[in-house]
Structure 1
Amino acid sequence: MTKSCTLDRIRVTADDENGVSDAGLLIAATLGDRLGLGPLLREHLTVPGSAGANPDRKCLTLIHSLLAGGDCIEDVNALRAGSTGAVLGHKVAASSTVGTFLRSFGFGHARQLDAVTRRLLARAVTAGAHPGFSESVTVDIDSTLCETYGLKKDGARGVMRTGLRGYHPLLAVIAGTPDIAGVVAHARMRRGRSSDSTSAPVFIKETISRLRSAGAAGEIVLRADSGFYLSDVVTACRNNDVRFSITARMIGSAVKDKIAAIAESEWTPIDYFLPGAGVAEFTFIPFASGPRGKLLAERGEIHPVRLIVRRTPLTDAQAINRGQDPDQPALFPIYDYHPMITDRTGEIVEIEADHRRHAEVELTIRDLKHDMAMNHFPTKSFGGNAAWLILNTIAHNLTRWATRLGLATAPVMTKKIRRRIYNVTGRLVRTGRRLVLRLPRRWPWAALITAAIERLRALPAASG
């Protein structure tokens, strides 16, 4: 092999105490300081014993480790090297300390973190992170399956419907504002064998409560898929004065017969990637059949709604799966039907298109799983893993808010922000009794970082 004399001449030493890895975390730390994240953690977290001492420092250590790309407890030690702790605003806890802290959590302590996220959202709205929040808010409710391995994780020992083991958390994601889409308003850990709608009515009530307390005085719209097509979910929306659009299930003949009876002239063409797609609507009373429907009728919980249905021609793959030749058109066109129920007013085409955008919630779930660390729950404790979930959402939201308030750019994947902003290296020097963080001269996004820090420092400190 050819020997590289140039590389061999480089002398490697490990003696710089002023090096700062992940220096761009100063942006997230500054925003957290302006929002009062540390005091909120101290105020609400009361984990018992010596493991619960300094809860703010331990939680912030985990949050900053997640932002830097850490996906397990051991990764927090990377923040202890050099002078990185100086740009975080707190002493970095050791991985063993953080692990003991998480394992001390019960589910009630994870709920204390819920109180932190509730007040943090309100403070971010006050700081201007969500323009138009007081006028209208759209929130997407969804669940996701998080696989685990082994039989020692509490709440994840049972086999899920997919044949895997894991957890099944619920998420409420704020949507509808392109410059700040993807903020997690609420998260709830659930056991793996929970169905999509387990605890959904209570979760929805809590989500709406925190949106109202954060300043959502106007219309709130809740979007959900067919996993939440339940009378209890609709009742929770009505009781909390929330508009809803929920994908309906094609169960029984009630919906199927009405769709089949729609005349061709009643279908309105829509802009869709498959030619021939259209929408139609009719009035429908959901959940009215069977003994359950009779009970709901007696309670006065059955109301007529708009049922909007989208029809789309089969793709070639769908045609092949159904035993058809895609190159030979069928004598009569064959469609797939996608119904939804809603109590919203407005044009059918606009409402259907807006409901379709519910799928964007998957982008947030993908970001939490693959750009944060929601794919890996590190402890055996259910409470500790519930806290891990909420700390992931806090870290995710800090990036979204920093992008809006500091970087002043459209939201992008956390991975891109991490590569360009958080992971930049620097050097901490003292001059004139001040600390100076020196970034690489030719770093392409150095000006963006310095401008973001100035914007965030100009924000008023949170109070109340």
Structure 2
Amino acid sequence: MRSSHSLDAVAVTFDDERLVTDAGLILPATLAQHLGLRELFDDHVDLGDAVGHANVGHKAMTLIHSALAGGDSIDDADALRAGSTQAVLGHTVLAPSTLGTFVRSFTWGHVRQLDKVAAALLARAWGAGAGPGEAPFTIDVDSSIVETYGLKKQGGTKFTYNKVRGYHPLMAVVAGTGDVVHCRQRGGNANSGRGAAGFLTETFNRVRAAGASGPITLRADSGFYAGSVATACRAADVRFSITVKLNPAIRKAIATIPEDAWVAIPYFLDGADVAETTYRPFGKKAPLVRLIVRRTKPTPGSQLALLVDYAFHALVTDRQGETIAIEADHRRHAVVEETIRDLKYGVGLNHMPSGRFGANAAWLALNVMAHNLARWTSRLGLGETLIATDTLRRRYLRLPGRLTSSARKFTLHMPQRWPWAERFQASLANLRAVVLVT
């Protein structure tokens, strides 16, 4: 079928001051306003006499809303200055040049001030109904490479363990919700577990201060297999399950498991079994823990099948419960990768923007806050526990609007026949009902 008119006949002008780009940002902006996020920045972040010290709250919120709109560079924030977009954000939108000066003003001490903002924001959001309360919950700790491009950027001359240039931050994520309850920037050459014990101690203290009073479990891969991590968990009354590498001592312990102790489990590979024994990791004086092992038959015809009868995967844990259930739950640690993907492709953590460590650490912290605002907008506004940020943006944030005023009343006009219009209106009402609990 031929079109009734030629697109060549459509004139294009950029001349409407009332238009709002990404008008759906009014949803997370409303939540941020009710949680007092801009004021938290102003209260806790003091850049001293640095060039970018003024209007911290407005600058931080500009970068957060830019990330929610899909911006993955400082320059992308310029789109928020178009038309009347600023009117739906609740703060002044600053120019990219000003924002660049702002993030470059951060030292490590200033980044730690952002940690205070993140902790206070978490407490307020969870106090408003987004938290676990008394229910048990699981924290997955992991690390991920965030690349830098260009040799002039810090990290650009240092290779990570997988031979790319960048940084290697730590993340602590609540399983089932995707809330990132803590993050820490590290150099690209840091191994997975470097600084993990102190990081986890801060994480456990943070979630307790935010109102989580139920039992906590930590899940981690073998990069966090260390006595200091187990000690940090015990000190905080947190149960743990940690993957172990198959060193000679672990293989020796596995060899003591009798054949009749192995129990078949549902698994995507046929012939998978689970069994357990006890093991004393991290030194002779360390407590005994459970060593749970999964074995699988190598793929027929593979090189591994020529060498061994089974491939083994083991974890140590102090958790109580059935062997099969704990092993299956520990495998669900892999869901942390979904949150890391959301941080990289839902907000702006696919790469780091600056040539300074402090600036990139601030970028990490602000993007994690943007991610959490998306999670809480979904949970408190839409009633959905997990919705990817790019889906949230496509359905609820990235839609055009037009702002009009009459008798001192502003109206944001959205497109007719928008498929998610009713849910948008309900979400806005829910977010406007959020009460700040301090």
Equivalent residues in 2 for 1:264-413, closer than 5 Å: 264-288=259-283, 297=285, 302-315=286-299, 319-322=301-304, 334-413=309-388
Distance in 1 between the 2:423 and 2:309 partners?
A: 52
Cα 1:436–1:182, aligned 2, differ >3 Å: closer, same or farther? same
- 1:310 deviates by 0.9
Letter in 2 for 1:305: V
Unaligned runs of 5+ in 1: 325-329
Residues 156 and 167 in structure 1, CA contact (< 8 A), matched pair in contact too:
no
The ranges of structure 1 where at least 4 consecutive aligned residues each deviate by more than 6 angstroms after the TM superposition are none
Instruction: Give the structure 2 partner of residue 147 of structure 1.
Output: 147
| 2:160 paired residue number | 160
Shift of the alpha carbon at 1:442?
A: 1.1
Counterpart secondary structure, 2:183: strand
Aligned equivalent of 2:246: 250
Amino acid at match of 1:266: A
Which structure 2 segments of 5+ residues have no match?
none
- 1:220 aligns to what? 216
Alignment of 1:440-451 (within 5 A): 440-451=415-426
Q: Give 1:323 shift.
A: 6.9
- Residues 11 and 54 of structure 1, relative CA distance in 2, 3 Å threshold: same
Cα offsets for 1:211-259 (capped at 9, x unmatched): 110112221111100001111111111112111000011112x221221
Give the C-alpha shift of residue 160 in structure 1: 2.1
Contact 2:375 2:385 (8 Å CA) reproduced: no
Letter in 1 for 2:80: L
The Cα of 1:203 is off from its aligned counterpart by 0.2
Correspondence list, 1:34-73, <5 A: 34-49=34-49, 50-73=51-74
* Corresponding residue SS for 1:404: helix
Structure 2: how far apart are the matches of 1:421 and 1:358?
29
Kept in 2, the 8 Å contact 1:156–1:192? The answer is no
TM-align CA RMSD: 1.8
Task: Give per-residue Cα distances to partners, 1:67-126, cap 9 Å, x unaligned.
Answer: 001110000110000000000011110000000001111111111111111111111111
* Conserved 8 A contact 2:59-2:102: yes
Answering whether residue 405 of structure 2 is matched by residue 458 of structure 1, we say no
Matches within 5 A, 1:162-201: 162-175=162-175, 177=176, 181-201=177-197
Looking at structure 1, the residues matched to 327 and 398 of structure 2 have their Cα atoms a distance apart, in angstroms, of 41
Give aligned pairs, total. 436
Q: Is the 8 A contact 2:155 2:167 kept in 1?
A: yes
CA contact under 8 A between 2:296 and 2:311: conserved in structure 1? Answer: yes
| SS of equivalent to 2:274 | strand
Shift of 1:335: 2.0
| 1:5 Cα deviation from its structure 2 partner | 5.0
Q: Is the CA contact (8 Å cut-off) linking 1:48 and 1:104 kept in structure 2?
A: no
Alpha-carbon distance between aligned partners in 2 of 1:396 and 1:403, rounded to the nearest angstrom = 11
Cα contact 1:153–1:382 (8 A) shared by 2 = no
Between the aligned partners of 2:236 and 2:104, the Cα distance in structure 1 is 36
Whole-angstrom CA distance in 2 between matches of 1:225 and 1:352: 13
Secondary structure, aligned partner of 2:302: helix
Query: What is residue 327 of structure 1 aligned with on the other side?
Result: none
Distance 2:189 2:104 in 1: 22
Structure 2 Cα separation of the partners of residues 271 and 61 of structure 1: 48
CA positional deviation for 1:48: 2.6
Taking structure 1 as the reference length, the TM-score comes to 0.91
Q: What's the CA shift for 1:164?
A: 1.9
- Could you tell me which residue of structure 1 aligns to residue 33 of structure 2? 33
Contact between 2:78 and 2:95, CA under 8 Å: does it hold in 1?
A: yes
Contact 2:128–2:437 (CA under 8 A) maintained in structure 1: no
Measure the CA separation in 2 of the matches of 1:166 and 1:207: 24
Residues 427-448 of structure 1: per-residue CA shift (max 9 Å, x gap): 1111232100010011111111
Distance apart, 1:322 and its partner CA = 3.2
CA deviation after TM superposition for structure 1 residue 156, in Å: 5.0
Give distance in 1, aligned partners of 2:11 and 2:321: 69
What is the rounded CA distance, in whole Å, between the counterparts of 1:154 and 1:15 in structure 2?
Answer: 41
Partner residue, 2:123: 122
Which position in structure 2 is the counterpart of 1:99?
Answer: 100
Deviations 1:1-25 (A, max 9, x none): x999532322222221100110000
Matched-pair contact (CA < 8 Å) for 1:147–1:166: yes
What do residues 397-450 of structure 1 show as CA deviations (whole Å, max 9, x unaligned)?
001111011011241211111111110101111123210001001111111111
Is the 1:220–1:242 contact (alpha carbons within 8 Å) kept by the matching residues of 2? yes
CA distance in 1, matches of 2:362, 2:133: 27
C-alpha distance after superposition, 1:26-74 (max 9, x if no partner): 0000010111111101101111334110100000000000000111000
User: CA 1:435–1:230 in 2, change beyond 3 Å: closer, same or farther?
Assistant: same
Secondary structure at the aligned position of 1:111 is classed as helix
Amino acid of the residue matched to residue 412 of structure 1? I
Secondary structure of the corresponding residue to residue 52 of structure 1: coil
Q: Partner residue of 2:392?
A: 417
**Deviations along 1:375-395, whole A, 9 cap, x unmatched?**
221111100100000111100
What are the equivalent positions in structure 2 for 1:416-435 lying under 5 Å apart?
416-435=391-410
Partner of 1:205: 201
Q: Which amino acid aligns with 2:178?
A: G
**C-alpha separation in 1, matches of 2:420 and 2:378:** 13
Q: In 1, distance between residues paired with 2:59 and 2:149?
A: 26
CA contact (8 A) 1:222 1:243 kept: yes
